[in-house]
Amino acid sequence: MKRVLLLIIILVLAAGPAHAQGGWIAPYGDPSGTDCAVWDAAPALLPVYIFHHSTPGATASRFAVELSGGAEWSLVYLADNPGFPWVQGDVWNGITVCYNECLAGPILVTTINFFGQGFSPTCSRIEVVPHPAAESGRVEVVDCADNIVTATGGPAIVNQDLGCICAINASAPQESIVLSSRTFQFCETIPIENSSWGKIKALFE
C-alpha cells in the first residue's frame, strides 16, 4: 500500500510541471514572429507583432507592453489589432486576450500599430511586461488544462547595433509556475454571450 501511495505521489509531482509551460510572449518586427529587431529609420507606419511562443497549448494570456530607452518619445501609439475577438483592455494598461481554443505556439496575439517618427534612439526597447492586475508579478497564461501559469515576457530592440543585437530567445524562459486552476479565470469578465464560449458557459449556470 505504501508503495502504491508513493507511486501516486511521484506521478502527481511528475505530471504537475508538464502543464506549467507558459512559454514566452514578445514583440517582433516581422509578421512571422522570427525577427525581434524593429527599425524606426524614417517617418512611417510601424507595426509590431506580439507572439506567444514555446507553449504546447494555451487558451488565454494577459500582459502589458512598455517602451523604454527613448522609444517612448519617438513611437506614437495608434491602435491594437488583436488576432482574436475576445479581448479586454489594451497593451498600455494591461490586455487580456482569450484564444477561444487550445492553441500551440507560435500564436499571433495582437499587432500594435505605431507611427515611427524616424528618430528612435539606438538600443531602445519595446517589451512585454506583466499585466498590472497580475498578483504574481509575471506575465500570465491559461494553459489547456485551465491552469493559470506564468510565462516569460521578452523585448524587441529598436534600431539595434553591435551593442544590443536582438537575439531570438537569447535567454531561456523563466521556469513556469502553476498559480491556480479555475476555468475561464481571465475571460469570465469579457462579454462572450454571443460566442461559443458563452454558450458553453451558459450550460453550467
Structural domains for the chain? 21-186 (2.60.40.680)
Residue 155 pLDDT: 93
The pLDDT value given to residue 69:
96
pLDDT at 17: 42
- Per-residue model confidence (pLDDT) at position 196: 42
pLDDT value of residue 150: 92
Q: How confident is the chain (205 residues) per 10-residue block, as mean pLDDT?
A: 39 40 93 94 96 94 96 95 91 93 94 96 96 92 90 94 76 67 60 44 40
C-alpha cell at 105: 505556439
Give dist(CA 162, CA 111) in Å, integer: 27
Q: How far apart are CA 145 and CA 132, in angstroms?
A: 24
Residue 94 has what pLDDT?
Answer: 95
* DSSP string for residues in 85-115: SEEEEETTTEEEEEEEEEEPSPEEEEEEEEE
